[in-house]
Amino acid sequence: MDAIIAVTPLYLAGMVKTLQLLVIAGIGAFIVGVFVAALRISPVPALRAFATAYTELIRNVPLLLVLFFFAYVMPILGSNLDYFTLAAIGLTVYTSPFVAEAVRSGINGVPVGQAEAARSIGLGFTQTVTLIVLPQAGRMVVPPLINVFIALTKNTSVAGLFFVDELFKATGPATRDYSDAIIPVLLYAGALYLSITVPLGILAGYIEKKVTVLR
Amino acid sequence: MSVLYDAPGPKTRRRSRIASVISILAIIGLLVWLYFTLAAPRISANGVETPGMFDPSRADILSDPILWQAFGRGVVNTLRMAAVAAILAVAVGILFSFGRSARSRWVRIPTTVILEFLRGLPVLLMIFFVFLVFSTGSYWAGVIGLGLYNGAIIGEALRAGIQALPRGQREAGMSIGLTVLQTRFFIEFPQAFRQMLPIIIAQLVVLLKDTSLAYVVSYQELARTIKGLQDFYGNRYLFTLYAVGLVLYLILNLSLSWLARYIARRSGPKQGATIDPEVPKIPGGDGTQALMLPLRGGNLKRGG
Q: Choose from B281, B295, B301 for mutation: most chain A CBs within 10 A.
A: B295
Confidence of residue B285 (pLDDT cuts 50, 70, 90): very low
- Give the list of residues 6+ apart from residue A7 with CB closer than 8 angstroms, or none: A170, A174, A177, A178, A185, A188
pLDDT at B303: 35
Q: Least CA distance to B116: which residue of chain A? A: A198
pLDDT top residue among A26 and B264:
A26
Please, what's the b/e burial string for A147-173 (b: 16 or more CB within 10 A of its CB; e: otherwise)?
bbbbbbbbbbbbbbbbebbbbbbbbee
Question: Is B47 domain-assigned?
Answer: no
Helices and strands, counts by H and E, chain A: 10, 0
Question: Which residues 66-95 of chain B have a CB within 8 Å of chain A?
Answer: none
Residue type, B267: S
Residue-wise pLDDT for A41-73, tens only, equals 887 888 889 999 999 899 889 999 999 999 988
- Indicate whether B287 pLDDT > 50: no
pLDDT at A18: 94
Confidence of residue B50 (pLDDT cuts 50, 70, 90): confident
Q: What is the ipTM of this complex?
A: 0.88
Q: Say whether residue B130 is in contact with chain A using an 8 A CB cutoff.
A: no
Percent of chain A whose predicted confidence (pLDDT) is above 90: 50
pLDDT top residue among A163 and B291:
A163
Helix (H) or strand (E) holding B50: strand B49-50
CA distance A178 to chain B (A): 12
Instruction: Output the CA–CA distances (angstroms, integers) from residue A130 to A103, A137, B57, in the order listed.
Output: 14, 10, 53
Phi then psi for residue B50, to 5 deg, are: -110, 145
How high is the mean pLDDT of chain A?
A: 89
Question: Is B90 domain-assigned?
Answer: yes
Q: How many domains does chain B have?
A: 1
CA distance B163 to chain A (A): 17
- Give the list of residues 6+ apart from residue A191 with CB closer than 8 angstroms, or none: none
Q: Are A146 and A98 in contact (CB under 8 A)?
A: no
Between chains, do B53 and A77 touch, taking CB under 8 Å as contact?
yes
Q: Are B160 and B294 in contact (CB under 8 A)?
A: yes
Question: Is B249 domain-assigned?
Answer: yes
CATH topology of domain A2-214: MetI-like fold (1.10.3720)
The residue-averaged pLDDT of A142-169 equals 92
Question: Is B87 domain-assigned?
Answer: yes
Q: Say whether residue A177 is in contact with chain B using an 8 A CB cutoff.
A: no
CATH number at residue B135: 1.10.3720.10
* Nearest partner of B162 among B186, B127, B146, B129, judged by Cα: B186
Q: Is the backbone of residue B218 left (phi > 0), alpha (psi -120 to 50) or beta? A: left
Residue-wise pLDDT for A79-101, tens only, equals 788 999 999 999 999 999 999 99
Mapping DSSP to helix (H, G, I), strand (E, B) and coil, where does residue B54 land?
coil
Q: Say whether residue B287 is in contact with chain A using an 8 A CB cutoff.
A: yes
Cβ-Cβ contacts under 8 Å, B260 against chain A: none
CA distance A186 to chain B (A): 7
Residue-wise pLDDT for B13-40, tens only, equals 888 888 888 888 988 999 898 888 888 7
Q: Say whether residue A105 is in contact with chain B using an 8 A CB cutoff.
A: yes
Residue-wise pLDDT for B207-263, tens only, equals 999 999 999 998 998 989 998 998 888 888 888 899 999 999 999 988 888 887 787
Cβ-Cβ contacts under 8 Å, A63 against chain B: 209, 212, 288
Residue type, A7: V
* Domain region containing B272: 79-298
Residue-wise pLDDT for A111-149, tens only, equals 888 888 988 898 888 888 889 888 888 878 888 899 899
